[in-house]
Amino acid sequence: MAFKRLGYSDRVMVIIIYILLILLSFTALYPFWNTLVVSLNEGLDTAKGGITFWPREFTWTNYEIVFTNDRILQSFGISILRTVIGTVSAIFMTALLAYGMSKSYLMGRKFLTIFFIFTLYFGGGLVPTFLLIKSLGLMNNFLVFIIPGLISVWNMIIFRTFFKSLPNGLEESAQIDGCSNWGVFIRIVLPLSGPVIATLSLFTAISHWNDWFTPTIYITNQDLMPVQTILRRILNANLINDVIGGGDSLASEKLSKKSLTSKSLISATVMVVSLPIILVYPFVQTYFVNGVMVGSLKE
C-alpha cells in the first residue's frame, strides 16, 4: 500500500510508528556502539569523558592488553571448550532420549513422560542442587558445566514432536534392510533433523556461552573460570588489575599505569566476550526465529 494513498490520520500514524521504531532501534544499538567506541579509545582520554558516537583518540591498545592477558585467554578457552563439548553432548543425549520416547511401543512410556514433565513444574531448588553437586564431587570440576545440563526436558519434547512427524516408511524400509534402531537413529533420523538440531544447538550453545552463574557457586579454581564469570568479577571489583593483573607482570605493569582508566579496558573485554554472538548472529538469525516457532509447537 503506497503512502500516498493513505488518508490523513493513517499518514500520521505511520510516521509516528516509523519514529518510534527508529528510536527503539537506536536504544537497542547504542549501548553496543558506545561500548565499541569506548573500547577503541585511549584509556586516559576516556576518563576525561564525552565519548559517545566516535573515538577521540583511536587505539588498539585495550584489545592488545586483553588478548595478551593469560587469565582472560585461559577463561576464553574454558568458555569455548564448555560450549562445544556441552552443546554436542547435550544435543546428542537429548535427541537419543527423545527418539526412544517417540516410539509408541516403548514400555513404560506413560510413566516416563510424567517422570520427565513433572520436573518442569517442580524442582528441588538451588540449595539441594548445590549439596548434590558437592557430594558428587563436581565442585571445581570441569564436568559440572557438562553433565547436569545433558538432558533438557524442553528440548526433548521438541525433538520428540519432530521425530513423530517423520514419515514411518523411512524407518521401516531401513529396518527391512537390516538396520537396527540405533542404526536408524544415527544414519536416518539424525541426518533428517538438520534444522531442528541446528536451532536447538544454537540455543544450547548460547546458554553455555552466557552462563556466568554456575561457576560462581561451583568453581573456585581460577583456571576453570569461563570468561563471563571473569568479566563479572572484573565489573564487581571495578578494578581490572585485581582480577586479571595477577601472574602477568607485563599486563599489571601496563595496568598499574592506567588504574584510573579501566573503563576502556573493561569495554574491550565486554566486546571480546560478546563478539562471538554478534558475529554469528546475522547468519543464524533465521534459526533463532525458527527456535521460537519450534518451541511453540504443541505436543
Partner 1 sequence: MPQATVKEPDAKNTADYKPIHQRNAFQRWWKQIDIQLMVWPGAILIFVFAYIPMYGVLTGFMDYNIFTGARIFDNPWVGFKHFEAFFSAPQFVTIMRNTLAISLMKFFIGFPAPIILALMLNEIRGRFFKRTVQTITYLPYFMSWVIVGSMVMSLLSTENGSVNMLLQGVGAIDEPINFLSMREYFWGILVTTNVWKDIGFNSIIYLAAISGVNPSLYEAAEIDGATRFKQMYLITIPTIMPIIIIFMILQMGSLLNAGFEDILILAQNPSLRPVSDVIDTYVFRVGLQNQRYDYGVAVGLFRAVVSIVLLTMANYLARRSGNSLW
Which residues 43-82 are close enough to bind partner 1 by CB under 8 A?
A: 47-52
Binding track, positions 137-156, relative to partner 1; x by CB under 8 A: ----------xx-xx-x--x
What's the Rg (C-alpha) of the chain?
Answer: 25
By the rule CB under 8 A, 4 interacts with partner 1 = no
Span 211-240, contacts to partner 1 by CB under 8 A: 211-213, 217, 228-229, 231-232, 235-236
By the rule CB under 8 A, 114 interacts with partner 1 = no
Start-to-end CA span in the chain (Å): 39
d(CA 21, CA 17): 6
- Grid cell 576453570 is found at 224
Q: What are phi and psi of 58, to 5 degrees?
A: -65, 135
- Grid cell 574454558 is found at 78
Whole-number minimum distance, CB 84 to partner 1, in Å? 17
By the rule CB under 8 A, 106 interacts with partner 1 = yes
d(CA 197, CA 179): 22
d(CA 77, CA 287): 26
Span 240-279, contacts to partner 1 by CB under 8 A: 263, 266-267, 270, 273-274, 277-278
d(CA 169, CA 153): 27
- # residues near partner 1 by CB under 8 A: 102
The 3-state secondary structure of 27-44, one letter per residue: HHHHHHHHHHHHHCECHH
Binding track, positions 195-214, relative to partner 1; x by CB under 8 A: -----------x--xxxxx-
Span 150-189, contacts to partner 1 by CB under 8 A: 150-151, 153, 156, 176-178, 180-182, 185
Contact window for partner 1 (CB under 8 A) among 19-27, 67-75, 80-88, 187-195 = 19-27
Cβ closer to partner 1: 137 or 253?
A: 137
The three three-digit cell numbers of residue 33, written as one number: 556502539
